Structure 1
């Protein structure tokens, strides 16, 4: 589940040309979010839902 989310986020960052820090700030108000995901962070359901909803809304 987490790996799938990280993969989708990474693809979106590449496609959108967005930095990991900016993405984290925009979506979950946490500039370290993507870096923490890369390090193995397991987001809670609410955060997972926010990120997934953002990606869907922005065509990822």
Structure 2
């Protein structure tokens, strides 16, 4: 399920759920809504998966 992947991503990156929602879907309540049973459309799910994959592949630049 998408929410499980997101929860792992949030723990790994220490990103707040509202920031994730804003960056991935422009909706700060996205993760909260998923936690409450919301089912995203297929296109939204693909966009979120793409966001997580590209975020994880981006090297840390400090």
Q: TM-score, normalised by structure 1?
A: 0.88
**2:33 corresponds to:** 36
Gaps of 5+ in 1: none
How many residues are matched? 57
Moved >2 Å (runs of 4+): none
Q: TM-score, normalised by structure 2?
A: 0.85
RMSD: 1.3
The structure whose Rg is larger is 2
Gaps of 5+ in 2: 58-62
